[in-house]
Structure 1
Amino acid sequence: MPASTLTFTANPLAETTLTFASSLAFGRTHRAQQESFQVGGKGFNVAKMMQRLGAEVSALSFAGGPTGAHCRAWLQDHAQYPWELIPTLPSTRAGWVARDADHGETTFLGPDQPLDAAAAFAAATRLSKLSADASVAICGSIPGWDRSACQPLQTACRHLAETDRLIVDTYGPPLRDLVELPLTLVKINRDEFKQLLQSCDCSPSLAAAQRRFPVQRWVITDGRHDIEFATAHSSGHVSPPVISEVSATGSGDVFLASVLSSDFRSANPDWIDIITRAAHLAAANAAHVEIAEFELFP
């Protein structure tokens, strides 16, 4: 396992959660019982879980405007891992989670904020200066990826992939471009995998993906259904635990954190064991309201 992992979140969220006692309905006024704030984003979730698992991890993201300032202050008070927020011209997007007893969670996301050129260049510079034993995990969407402003970021990712230091959990244009590189690991869900294969006229199978792309390791999650994995030397399926789901939010990030905290890079990793443990941690997360705050098992 590399000495450290840097999670990269290009589309963070200033997230407010409101909890209601009564059932919510559109067209009516509702008064919340509780309000809380957190910085949302897949890379922050992965970093939080990796830190809890004892791995060396840090997080890189962006922040702009009043919402970005709120995110920065929250991280200063709550984050247990090193982090850095690169300034952006647009304000950090806002989001809201509404919880009630009848409907569970309903999430509202503000518009994506494409990276401006200066922020993308600063991120690329940061990635290019990482130590040779550090890996980067691309976590979540990258708005504006196919714009000229993100070309330095694309170049930095290419170098990381060519030196076996790039893990990817994204979708859309970034995923379509990055799988053309020798990525260390791709962890995506079944829908994202199908969309990727459809975009290049390939059959929706891991065998087809392995033939088409130079990715070293694939892990495909599918909610309550089997998790599929494939490497150059092994492949298989693992069934996730059956649970009473409370909130699945962040469970994929907990899963990735577990894999990245394992010995998956070793000469002869036990992939069944790696995936099984990750699936149990993800299930434990889904059985709780908050992300990556469940009790760890031995």
Structure 2
Amino acid sequence: MSGSAIVTLTVNPALDVTVDADHVQPTDKIRCRAVRYDAGGGGVNVARFVHALGVPVSAVFTAGGPTGAHVVALIDDSEVPSLPITVSGHTRQSLTVNECATGRQYRFVLPGPALTPEEQIRCLDVLKDAAGSAGYVVASGSLPPGVRPDFYQQVADICGQRGARLILDTSGGGLAHISSGVFMLKPSLRELRECVGRPLLTEVEQTTAARELIDRGVAEMVVVSLGAEGALLVTARSSHRYAAIDVPSVSGVGAGDAMVAGIVVGLSRAWPVPVAVRYGIATATAKLQTPGTSAFVRSDVDGYFDGYFDGVDTEGTVDAKGTAVRPVRSR
């Protein structure tokens, strides 16, 4: 496999299963239809979405059992270059049920297989080789059972040694045990709340919490995804609040991963960080309109991105073609 501008790492991938059902209720059998299978897990999704945006990417991920083989086959079908790491346990499944009567979406996420110490070391060794030719490494997703809580710190250390910038999107223990070496941390608001142990009800509180992580040396910058409220970019000296783009949603699954994909693509194109975050929001918007965790059409992303600049404070940024427009306001 040749070198890639971007490498993703997924320690706990999933076979994403998406179905439709008329009603979801206890006790009764729920008859499902429109079954869809996608290769999933944070970094796997990011890799597929980066590939859809036309940027070289390689996916490093674990795979075990029949579900792991299915994930490998799906990634091969998507033509994303990959380095699957065989493990003894079975890759997990993740089930999303769309309730047609109400429009609600139910998501059932399994914990994943326990990884042995030897399998964890193999993941780090493969990443070390892959990161040597990467400008950015995206480590995304939960840690499966048995993995050391400081695993992502080891990933950060490897990226530092190999000269790659790390973008980290995780939660729980994987987030709590990071102490240094992250270029960009991308928690959701819920994940940031859990990390600092406070409700973070206002933007000021959210900015303060993100800056605490920066001041501690955990990350150079933090992007907090706020769902329908957009996103918040916080650096040591400034913050930027971004509105979401209002569109009808088919599925919210994978939208956060799409946001990360758009951001890292923008960064790989040497765009300013505020512009890359806008591109991430445009990518997430396009993802909202596709079923399951399927990829989007690149032209839709560029259309949302260019449209984002109409009537907003955008001095000093560029559009999807790299044309300069007006600057983003900071405060």
TM-score by length of structure 1 reads: 0.85
Question: Once the two structures are superposed, what CA deviation does each residue of 1:85-130 show, in whole Å capped at 9, x if it has no partner?
Answer: 2111111112322223124432222333232222211111112223
Secondary structure of the residue aligned to 2:267 is coil
Distance 1:56 1:210 in 2: 29
Partner of 2:307: none
Distance 2:59 2:228 in 1: 29
Any gaps of 5 or more consecutive residues in structure 2?
Answer: 199-204, 303-331
- Runs of 4 or more off by more than 6 Å in structure 1? none
Shift of 1:15: 2.7
The size of the alignment, in residue pairs, is 287
1:58–1:82 contact (8 Å) kept in structure 2: yes
Matched, 1:209 2:213: yes
Any gaps of 5 or more consecutive residues in structure 1?
Answer: none
Percent of aligned pairs with the same amino acid: 23
Give the counterpart of 2:262 among 250, 258, 263.
Answer: 258
Name the Cα RMSD after superposition.
2.6
2:230–2:243 contact (8 Å) kept in structure 1: yes
> Structure 1 residues 51 and 95, CA, compared in 2 at 3 Å: closer, same or farther?
same
Distance 2:153 2:224 in 1: 24
Partner of 1:56: 56
Partner of 2:12: 11
Question: Once the two structures are superposed, what CA deviation does each residue of 1:135-165 show, in whole Å capped at 9, x if it has no partner?
Answer: 32111111246639x76x7534313135453
Secondary structure of the residue aligned to 2:187 is strand
1:15–1:40 contact (8 Å) kept in structure 2: yes
Question: Once the two structures are superposed, what CA deviation does each residue of 1:230-271 show, in whole Å capped at 9, x if it has no partner?
Answer: 2345421111112222211111111100010013784xx534
Partner of 1:248: 252
Q: 5 Å matches for 1:176-255?
A: 176-178=176-178, 180-198=179-197, 204=206, 205=208, 206-232=210-236, 234-255=238-259
2:67–2:92 contact (8 Å) kept in structure 1: yes
Partner of 1:96: 95
> Structure 1 residues 168 and 196, CA, compared in 2 at 3 Å: closer, same or farther?
same
2:132–2:164 contact (8 Å) kept in structure 1: no
Secondary structure of the residue aligned to 1:188 is coil
Distance 1:216 1:187 in 2: 11
